[in-house]
A and B are shown apart, each in its own frame.
Chain A
Amino acid sequence: MKPEPVLLRGVTDSTELARRVLHTRLREVRRLTGGLEQRERLALHDFRIACKRFRYALERFSELEPSLEAPAKSFTLLQDALGEAHDRDVLLSILPAAMAQTEHRLRTEREACVDRAGALWTQAQELLLDRPLTFFEDPSNHSSESFGPDDARIKHDETP
């Protein structure tokens, strides 16, 4: 999945750069949240990759804005859960048919990982809504952007 390009025309300071990158990457994550609801392999994979990109951006810019460290940590946990689900998906795709017991175990674990990811996503969203969102919020573009606190709350309520 190709990343959404970040529009950086006219950017002059590093805070603005961080704001635009985080804004775009978070929008990408929110656009792909459906993967978590559908629980389907490919959609979940895309959501995981988007979370990873957002997490790297958070970690990078926490050098400029330390309040981004907490959401970065929360996205690390979310990514771990999604990664464990993904590993099980990969193994399930090559598992010999004669391993029914193992398959059952892997499927159960996989579902538990997705459930955990769902809970962690809810927590991560709360963390984002609490503080750092103000850091990368762009008031001038608010109407044209796909999320603001209200929009985020709606999507947040939709997550399982």
Chain B
Amino acid sequence: MGRRGDLTSNRILREGRDKYFRRTLARNERPAVKWLKRTVAKERRALEAARRRFVSKPTENRLHAVRTAGRRFRSLLEDVAQLAPSAKLLRRVKRAAEQTDAARDATIIRRLLESSADPGERHVAQPLLDELSAREKEATRLAHKRLRRTRFTG
């Protein structure tokens, strides 16, 4: 009984000490780090939400949203690398961006060619337009496949 009682009191003491340290750490946490943690968590959630939306229905707008959220998040991680190093996460974000590059590039260039091709040269542009269209579909399919396997949550 006494032995059991000792164990319990030790546990209470240990838990109390842990709680005390956690509280002290929280109190002493620098506001910059607090703000940073909140911002990183917010942007990370935004990227994960955009990824999920794209995975559920891979449209051009949703792909654009993934890219935008990814760029913002990447820029944040690079800006604060010295204060909050996250090399692994940064690599994952960069890889995700690379996986969507081809699809977005093909879309933008196809649209621009469609709108700016001279009417007299339309027949010359057609094979390139077809190629860009095929590239866009294939790249979107690949981005969808890869982003389905990527997670940005902790």
Contacts and interface: CB of A to CB of B under 8 A. Distances in A.
B117 interface: yes
B116 A9 contact: no
B82 A6 contact: yes
Nearest to B34: A14
Interface size classification for chain A: 35 or more
A95 B116 CA distance: 12
A23 to B, nearest CB: 11
Nearest to A4: B78
B30 interface: yes
Interface stretch (A39-47, A49-57, A136-144): A49-57
B124 A99 contact: yes
B87 interface: no
Contact of A102 (B71, B79, B121): B121
Interface stretch (B1-9, B16-24, B105-113, B138-146): B105-113
B79 A52 contact: no
Contacts of B75: 3, 52-53, 56-57
Interface in A108-149: 109
A88 B125 CA distance: 15
A53 B81 CA distance: 14
A87 B109 contact: yes
A4 to B, nearest CB: 9
Contacts of A80: none
Which 4 pairs of residues, A with B, have the shortest CB-CB distance? A101-B118, A14-B35, A8-B82, A56-B75
Interface of B: 30-32, 34-36, 39, 71-72, 75-76, 78-83, 105, 108-109, 112-113, 116-118, 120-121, 124-125, 128
